[in-house]
Amino acid sequence: MKVGFVGLGAMGVRMAKCVLRGGFELQGFDLSAERLTEIEAAGGVAVSDAAAAARGADVLILMVVNAAQARAVLFEADAISALPKGGLVLSSVTMPSDDAAAIGEQVELAGRMFLDAPVSGGTAGAERGTLTFMTGGSDAAFDCAEPLMRAMGANLFKMGPKPGAGSTMKMVHQLAAGCNLAVAAEVMSLGAHLGLPPAQLLEVLNVSAGGSWMISDRGPRMLTEGESAMSAVDIFVKDLGIVLDAARAAKFPAPVTASALQIFLGASAAGYGRHDDSQATRFYEQLGGKKVRSEGES
């Protein structure tokens, strides 16, 4: 099976390497020359644009930032025409479910299959090949994608027979992830402000009932400057915005999500939008809180 891959960011490049380790051919495209060099070193082929990544592939994997970029890759760069008829677009893009459904319909009208398959597990899961895939699409699309998803992930879920179902599950997941991270930032910031050593505070939390996956994963990164982003602050600005838009459309109250979004918006407005999302702590720092991070650590 030949695989095209567009979007070799912190998650994407690790996922692509898992595909290569799984024995698949891969041709990848990203705007970063560094990422292209990295994928070539791992045994893949670097190509010059999105259409070239799709050309001759059986499956085109998308790991771009949002629905607008997915549309640009497929229909403006015309990767959909370069992908052979009957081929599959495996979209792991986090986007509103309505966008996933609309893009899926357009792909299927073009004579290709589409699987709405966002992921969870972070860069660590992408590195290890233990991601969780939340999918929406036909059985045929799932069956075609399954060998690749198993190369990249440990948990595969069918959420519904049509595109959009996977994105709905990812949206609800991001509510949980974003709110948990906002709590982690507040916990670490308050503890530091009250004079507790942040590293020791983290150590206690990680063996106590108040701990969480987000505290254990993001906590160590909160002790750094967070300039090298595994997942940026602005990702949660986007994703929690998606949650609130969906809740508003459904007339469903989401007050915890709304509060969590303010923390990420505050950190972004302070100039840390492209920093690692652990730097949600900067919101509290801007309010006069003491630093969580250690001086000089990056």
Which is the catalytic residue, given 85, 158, 162, 170? 170
Amino acid at 66: N
170 is catalytic: yes
Taking the alpha carbons at both ends of the chain, their separation in whole angstroms is: 40
SS (H, E, C) 121-154: CHHHHHHHCCEEEEEECCHHHHHHHHHHHHHHEE
C-alpha to C-alpha distance for 291 and 193, rounded to whole angstroms: 8
Burial class (CB in 10 A: 0-12, 13-18, 19+), 26: buried
- Dihedral over alpha carbons 53, 85, 61, 94 (to 10 degrees): 130
Interatomic CA distance for residues 295 and 44, integer angstroms: 39
Q: What distances in angstroms separate CA 146 from CA 1, 105, 152, 162, 265, one per listed residue?
A: 12, 21, 10, 16, 37
Helix (H, G, I), strand (E, B) or coil at 182: helix
Q: List the catalytic residues.
A: 170
